[in-house]
Amino acid sequence: MSEPATPDPEADALFEIVRQRYGDRLTPEQLDEVRKIVQAQVEAARALRAMRLTNADEPMQPFAPYRAEP
């Protein structure tokens, strides 16, 4: 398995979680691919983290309390 071109401790740590969980079912080539995908995910997350939000900016998700009728 090859090392990433530029060390990224966060991506490395997150990749290690994946490797611990699923490494026994993946080939070295697949693990290489997974490492690249994790790196891309981390970069996407950084783009989100760079955005400032206010306390009032809620998740845009549907949720409603449930009560069976009648």
Partner 1 sequence: MKADVLFTPLRELGGLLRTRKLLPVELAELFLDRLERLGPRYNAVVTVMRDHALSQARRAEGDIAAGRYRGPLHGIPYGAKDLLATAGAPTTWGAAPYKDQRFDFDATVIRKLEEAGAVLVAKLAMIELAGGMGYRQPTASFTGPCINPWDANAWTGGSSSGSGAAVAAGLVPFAIGSETWGSILSPAGYCGLAGLRPTYGRVSRHGAMALCWSLDKLGPLAQTADDCGLVLGAIAGPDPRDPTASDRPYRYDAADRKGFRFGLITNVTDGCEDAVAENFTRSLGVLRKMGTVEEVTLPDLPYEQITRIILQVEAASAFEDLIESGGIAELTAPEDRHTPYARDAILAKDYVKATRLRGVMAREIDRVLGSFDALVAPGRINEAPVLGQEFRSAIRATAKDVMGAVGNGAGLPAVCVPNGFGARGLPTSIQFMGRAWEENTILAAARAYQSLTDWHTRHPRVG
Question: What minimum distance in Å lies between the beta carbon of 52 and partner 1?
Answer: 10
Chain contacts with partner 1 (rule: CB under 8 A): 14-15, 17-18, 21-22, 25-26, 30-31, 33-34, 37-38, 40-42, 44-45, 47-51, 53, 57-62, 64
CB closer to partner 1 out of 2 and 45: 45
Whether 38 and 18 have beta carbons less than 8 Å apart is answered as yes
Burial of 64 from C-beta contacts in 10 A (0-12 / 13-18 / 19+): exposed
Question: What minimum distance in Å lies between the beta carbon of 53 and partner 1?
Answer: 6
- Alpha carbons 30 and 2: distance in angstroms, whole number: 11
